[in-house]
Structure 1
Amino acid sequence: MRILLLLVLPVVVLCQLSPQTTVPCGTPVVQPITKRIVGGKEAAQGSWPWMVMIVALTNDLRLIVEGSGSILGTHVILTTAQHFEGPGFSVFDLDLRHWQLHLGNHHMNTRDPNQRLYLIRKVILHPGYNVTSLKDDIALIITQEPIEYNDHTRPACLPDASHHYRVGDVCYLPGWGSTLTTGDDEVLNQVDMPILDDSVCSRQFRDFLSDTEICAGYETGIKEFCPSDLGSPLMCKDSNGIWYIQGLASSGVDCHITRYPGVYEDLSMYSDWIKQTMATSGYPYEY
């Protein structure tokens, strides 16, 4: 978790598109930086417009960064279930009225021109979610108000079961987690994460679930996601130029220990459940 210095209030969104206007998924107006950088790099502002910073307001009025999510539709945000249920607590114990969703922002403690705050109406956990093994670590957040799209706030694309990735493919993980002094902690950063063979994570983690999880990152190096990156999307670019959420940052080890890869939920195995749940909630996936 990371503490924000400022309580960010709703701001006017510039260059708005109507919530009813369909904008293409996975197509940022500002193209992400795809040059591979050792240790990660600050993301180009607006290049990951589906990113959501999930924060919780504490009793002493501090904002704690719980993790990240991704916009899937005008009322739906995708993230990991472990934000809302874990050992000793469940979603029913949380006062979600004190949680906030920050969209369109790049900085953590400076209000950006296109930034807007949304509130949570409800959270839907995957019915198979296991707090111990982190199996099916998927959740959907339904917002109270419709999300307004603009150049800095757009939906990401979901892969389907036929959408394949290959070992060696280089994907990217954006997030507001700690950079461990390798970069600017006050901005959205990104790091390149190559897809690894499942055997790498199977050797490192006894509970790695090869049927529903992706192994990505580095066995040795200085790149690993931190707790505040949980729920961040592992973004892979398809041959058609569209960006897909191939994985969700779910588990690994302490990011201060960099000799381990990361474990991601494989979204191609969950897209049917996500789409069905969105439709049942009254907000069908549009792409």
Structure 2
Amino acid sequence: MFTVVVLAGFIGIALGQSVPCGVPTVTPITNRIRGGQDAIAGSWPWMVLLVDDLGYISGSAFVLGKHTLLTSAQHFEGTNYHLADIDLPNWSMYLGSHSIKTEAQHERNYTIKSVTVHESFDATTLKNDIALIYTNEEIVYNEHTKPICLPNPGHQYHVGQMCYLAGWGDTGNDQDEVLKQVGLPILADNVCSKHWQDYLSATELCAGYESGGKDFCGDDIGSPLMCKDDSGAWFAQGIASSGGDCTAADEPGIFEDVSKYTQWIKTHMTAAGYPYEY
């Protein structure tokens, strides 16, 4: 495990919690359209815009608790960069954001207290591509900032189920500046295995289209693949990891299957002093 500390089946409602997980105040668009579209402001209230110490958009994360975000390990570990060398105090995390150019009414900037990268993350194969971010400040929940639900181990999803991904990734259009969303169906493992020889069916899931004009963008890494449960709550079933190319959109994307890491997430949240509340 790499850890760096910066000095400075029901709708889940926890005991003492008035804000349920996975239930946005603003209803998201879930109609099936070709290609991505602008999300309605506040409809995915757990989305977090990650900006690095140089001011560049690194990707996305999502809210699990009042001090905890979940994302891809790729933001902090790679073949030629390492968590210990990253200037975490100068990263920014924008919650309640919608446009990358205009500050939203409910938007707030948070700073990083510490990051825990999965101890078995492999930057070459992207196995165990998952990381927890802890904030210095307590996250303030409002209509545009809320947590998404964690799936339990073995949480059921099925091939063909329509899930959604949101992000601020570069679409190649300079006019795109607001949060985008795209509907991506769950695909069988053998579909991704056919496209990607390094697909890991034990810990990853496949979603998207083989040639359907829809995909997440390369810098949407860390965004959640959001699936709606029968209860009406939204769960983070996946984390965007690789295969995303929204300009070509001719192959499915690969996501870490969050349900395979639920216990790891809960264990490390508890160890950090921020136990999962739902």
Q: Quick check: TM above 0.5?
A: yes
Q: Which residue of 2 aligns with 1:11?
A: none
CA distance in 1, matches of 2:277, 2:18: 8
1:118–1:145 Cα contact (<8 Å) kept: yes
SS at match of 1:30: coil
Q: Residue 259 of structure 1: CA displacement?
A: 1.3
CA distance in 1, matches of 2:35, 2:244: 17
1:201 aligned to 2:192?
A: yes
1:42–1:184 Cα contact (<8 Å) kept: no
Query: Identical aligned pairs, as a percentage?
Result: 53
Q: Which residue of 1 aligns with 2:50?
A: 54
2:204–2:257 Cα contact (<8 Å) kept: yes
Matches within 5 A, 1:83-102: 83-102=75-94
Q: Which residue of 2 aligns with 1:240?
A: 231
Matches within 5 A, 1:67-216: 67-181=59-173, 185-216=176-207
Q: Residue 161 of structure 1: CA displacement?
A: 1.3
Instruction: Structure 1 unaligned segments of length 5 or more: list them.
Output: 1-19
Q: Deviations over 1:100-153 (max 9, x none)?
A: 000001111101110000000110001111000000000000101110110100
2:53–2:87 Cα contact (<8 Å) kept: no
SS at match of 1:258: coil
SS at match of 1:153: coil
2:238–2:257 Cα contact (<8 Å) kept: yes
Q: Residue 225 of structure 1: CA displacement?
A: 1.4
CA distance in 2, matches of 1:105, 1:253: 22
2:31 maps to amino acid: K
The alignment yields a C-alpha RMSD, in angstroms, of 1.3
CA distance in 2, matches of 1:21, 1:115: 22
The equivalent position to 2:22 in structure 1, one of 20, 26, 44, is: 26
CA distance in 2, matches of 1:77, 1:84: 14
1:119 maps to amino acid: T
1:45 maps to amino acid: A
2:97 maps to amino acid: N
SS at match of 2:155: coil
Instruction: Structure 2 unaligned segments of length 5 or more: list them.
Output: 1-15
SS at match of 1:154: coil
- The number of aligned residues is 263
TM-score by length of 1: 0.89
SS at match of 2:191: helix
CA distance in 1, matches of 2:184, 2:77: 27
Q: Residue 56 of structure 1: CA displacement?
A: 1.2
CA distance in 1, matches of 2:150, 2:126: 21
2:231 maps to amino acid: N
CA distance in 2, matches of 1:97, 1:237: 35
Tell me: CA distance 1:286–1:184, structure 2 relative to 1, closer, same or farther (3 Å).
farther
Q: Which residue of 2 aligns with 1:279?
A: 270
CA distance in 2, matches of 1:255, 1:107: 19
TM-score by length of 2: 0.92
Q: Residue 253 of structure 1: CA displacement?
A: 5.1
Q: Residue 21 of structure 1: CA displacement?
A: 4.8
